[in-house]
Amino acid sequence: NNILVFMQRLISSNQLDCTYEESVVSDTAYECQRVLGPHFPELQKEFSALSRYIGFNAFLHKVLDIDAEVFLSEEEFRIKEPIHVLISLMEQHPNVIVAECPEWSKEDFATRANFDIIDFFQHESKLSDELVEKEMRRLPPPPGSQILHVAGLLGLCDPRNQFI
């Protein structure tokens, strides 16, 4: 149990931003888990949860520019079901849905894009392969890829978890 407390303190002392020292702390936490995990199999579940928390926090902070520590503490992360973490993220920070393509947040763009997508799929079967490829390049990038990445970090990539 002292090992687990050490790992939790190591991680909680790290605010997971982009500085060299904090990157070393994350790397140290991962390395400790890799080395100690096989010797303490009863802690593997805890180590796995801590690893997910490190990855989740780093992604929120570095990619989505969200203060992950304020959004969700390590203890809250352990208690909440992954799907509820994802729902909370979208409720508290709805712009993450369009983070990689902010033009989707503009009503006229979204309306036009949805029309183009619907039109494409209604006519796709009637088009040649070359034309399908050309028309697909014309479509806007779909929103939500960052949310899908977060879902993966939370362990929701398993197809059985998609409908939880």
pLDDT for 74-111, tens place per residue? 888 888 998 999 999 999 999 898 988 889 999 999 99
CA 153 to the chain's CA centroid: 5
Confidence class of residue 7 from pLDDT cuts 50, 70 and 90?
low
How far apart, in whole angstroms, are the C-alpha atoms of residue 86 and residue 127?
A: 38
CA neighbours within 13 Å on the CB side: how many for 36?
Answer: 19
> What pLDDT, on the 0 to 100 scale, is given for residue 160?
56
* 154 exposure class (CB count in 10 Å sphere: 0-12, 13-18, 19+): buried
